[in-house]
Amino acid sequence: MAAGPGDPSSGPAAGARFFCTAGRGLEPFLMREVRVRLQATQVEYVSGKVFFTTCSDLNMLKKLKSAERLFLLIKRQFPFNVSSVNKGKIYNEMQRLVNDDPESWLNVISIWKDLLELDAKKKRLPQRDANLLKRKLGENDTIITKKLKAEQMQKTQENRECQLEKHVEEETLEQGGFLTNREKSQLDERQGEAAEAAGTPGQNGLTFRVSCRCRGALAKAFSAQEVGRIIGIALMKQFGWKADLRDPNVEIFIHLSDIYSVMGIPVFRAPLASRAYIRTAGLRSTVAWAMASVAEIKAGALVLDPMCGLGTILLEAAKEWPDACYVGADVSDSQLQGAQGNLKAAGLQDKIALLQVSVVELPLPSESVDVIISDIPFGKKFKLGKDIQSILREMERVLRAGGAVVLLLSEAHCKSLTGCESSIPLNSKGGHSGEPGSEKCLIPDGKTGTSETASPSLEANDQECLPQMPPFGSLVPVERYKVSLGKTDAFIYKYKKSYSSGLKQATHCEPRPSP
C-alpha cells in the first residue's frame, strides 16, 4: 500500500515543522490549504506567517498556492526586550539563539538534507531512463565529450571563485575585528572536529548565508547586517560552518520584531508565489488563487472574468481546476495580447477563450455563466465611480441563479456600492479592526495552546469585522476578506445570485389598472 502524505514513513520530513510567509489577509486561505493539501496539523498563525507540521515531500510542498515562501522552522520565541536591557546583553541573547540549543539547528539541517536527497532521487530515476533512451538512439560521443569538458571548466572556475571569496572573507573578518586570535584558533579547531565527524575535509563543509529582517524597537538598536554578523559568527564558532555570501549551501532566515523572533531555512530558492507558468505578472498570483478558491469552481462550470487584464485569475483557476471552461474578456487590446502570451507560456490556449468586449456589453446570453471572478480596476488610472454599478448589473444579467460572483474591490468601490462613507470601520492605527494580524495567537513551541483553537477565531473574525455589503439586486454577499496588495488594501467579496432576475421582475410587475 502506497504511503500517503499523512504517513510518517512517506518521507524524511515526517512530522517536520514548517512556516510560510503570506500576504496580510491571506492567512485563512493558507491555513485551510495546508490542512487540505498537506494534511497538516498544529496549524497556527501570526500576521503574515502560518506555522504547521506535515510529513509531505517537496513535490507536495511545491503545490501551495496561497503562500509567498516556505521555510523549515528552526526556532521561534518571544521577542527581545530592547527597552530594559543594554545593547551588549541583547548581543549575547542573539548568540544564545544558536548556542543554547545546537541540536535543534542540526536536526533541521538533517531534515533539510533528507528532503533534498529524496527529491534528487526521484528526479534521477526518470533522468536515468531518459539517458538510456538517448544512448539507444546513438547520441554523438563528441557531444558528450564537449559536455564533460564544459562541466570540468565550470567546476574549475567555481573553485577559483570560492578560493577568492574565502580569501576576501577571511581578510574582512580580520580587518573588522570580529574574531580574536584565540577565537580564530578555537574556530579552526571546531571546524576540524566537525569535518572529522562528518568524514569530509574542512574546506568541503557546509557553507551558509544569513538573511535578516528587523522591525520595531530592535531595528532602531541593530541593523539587519549587524544581526546577521552576530548570528553568523555564532554559527561559525558552534558548528564550524563557513560563510559564503555568493552561493551558500544553505540560507538562514531570521525575522526579529516586537512580536516574535523566528528562524528558518528556505526550502526553495524561488518564492512559491513566483509562478513559472506566468510570463507577465498582473494581479498577485496568491490573491488570484485565493479569489478562485472562494468561487468553489465545479467540473463543467463556465467561468468568466469580464475584466481579465493579463489573465492571472483565469490562469490560477485553470491550473487548479482544469475541468471547468474559462472565458476572459477585456476592452484593451494590449492587455489581451499580454494575456495571450501568458496562456501560451502556461500551455492553456485551448482551455481559456479570450474576447475583446466591454464589461457592460458582454455578448453572452442571460443566465449562461456559472461563476464570475474579476479584479475590478481601481486607482488614479481607473476612475470607475458609479460605473461599478453598471458593471455589477451586467454581471448579474449573465450569471445563472445560484451562481457565484467573486470580486476584488477597493474601499472606494465599496463606498460607491453602499452609498455610505463610513461603511468600512477602521481602527485607530488605520488598519481594519478585523484584520487577521492579531499577534496574540503566537505561541512559542513547547508552550500551551495550539492552532486548533486559534485558527477558527481568525476565520470568524475575518468574516465578522469586514464592511457589511448590502445585496445588489439578486446578488447577495456571502463572504468577505480584507487582503493586502502591498501599498494598499482591497476586499474580496463573494456574492451568490439568489433568484432568476427575469422571474423576480415578473413577480413584482405592477397590475394594470382596470379600464
Average pLDDT, the chain: 77
Residue type, 491: F
The span from the CA of 217 to the CA of 441, in Å, is 21
Q: Tens digit of pLDDT for each residue in 305-354?
A: 999 999 999 999 999 999 999 999 999 999 999 999 999 999 999 999 99
Q: Which of 260-269, 402-411, 416-425, 458-467 has the lowest mean pLDDT?
A: 458-467
- Element holding 397 (H helix, E strand): helix 387-398
Q: What average pLDDT score do residues 377-404 get?
A: 80
Q: Which of 116-125, 137-146, 178-187, 414-423 has the lowest mean pLDDT?
A: 178-187
Q: What average pLDDT score do residues 87-99 get?
A: 88
Residue type, 43: V
Residue 118: the pLDDT is 81
Q: In terms of pLDDT, which residue wins out, 174 or 75?
A: 75
The span from the CA of 308 to the CA of 332, in Å, is 10
**Grid cell listed for 184:** 580564530
* 272 pLDDT more than 50: yes
**Grid cell listed for 488:** 494598499
| Contact between residue 192 and residue 202 where contact means Cβ atoms under 8 Å apart | yes
* Chain position carrying cell 495552546: 449
For residue 238, count other CB atoms closer than 10 A to its CB.
Answer: 17
Short-list 209, 220, 219, 222, CA closest to 253: 209
For residue 485, count other CB atoms closer than 10 A to its CB.
Answer: 17
* Chain position carrying cell 495546508: 34
The span from the CA of 49 to the CA of 79, in Å, is 16
Query: CA–CA distance from 459 to each of 31, 355, 363, 484 (Å)?
Result: 9, 37, 38, 16
Residue 40: the pLDDT is 96
Q: Tens digit of pLDDT for each residue in 485-500?
A: 988 899 999 999 998 8
Q: What average pLDDT score do residues 108-133 get?
A: 74
**Grid cell listed for 111:** 531534515
DSSP 204: G
Task: Provide the phi-psi class of 199: left if phi over 0, else alpha when psi is between -120 and 50, else beta.
Answer: left
CB-side neighbour CA atoms (13 Å) of 258: 7
Q: Quickly state the pLDDT bin for 461 (edges 50, 70, 90).
A: very low
* 31 pLDDT more than 90: yes
Residue 513: the pLDDT is 45
Contacts 24+ apart (CB under 8 A), 316-322: 316/65, 316/275, 316/285, 316/288, 316/289, 316/292, 317/288, 317/289, 317/292, 317/373, 318/346, 318/348, 318/351, 318/352, 319/277, 319/346, 319/348, 320/65, 320/289, 320/292, 320/293, 321/292, 321/297, 322/351
Q: Tell me the pairing of strands 41-46 and 302-305.
A: unpaired
Q: In terms of pLDDT, which residue wins out, 191 or 159?
A: 159
Q: What average pLDDT score do residues 65-73 get?
A: 97
- Sign of the dihedral defined by the CA atoms of residues 318, 321, 322, 325, in that order: negative
User: Which residues share a beta bridge with 53?
Assistant: 17, 41
Contacts of 457 (CB under 8 A, 6+ apart): 441
The span from the CA of 94 to the CA of 243, in Å, is 18
Q: In what order do the strands lie in the sheet with 49-54?
A: 41-46, 49-54, 16-21, 69-77, 261-266, 250-256, 207-214, 242-243
Short-list 26, 46, 7, 141, CA closest to 489: 26
The span from the CA of 126 to the CA of 138, in Å, is 19
Q: What average pLDDT score do residues 172-176 get?
A: 42
Residue type, 164: L
Q: Quickly state the pLDDT bin for 448 (edges 50, 70, 90).
A: very low
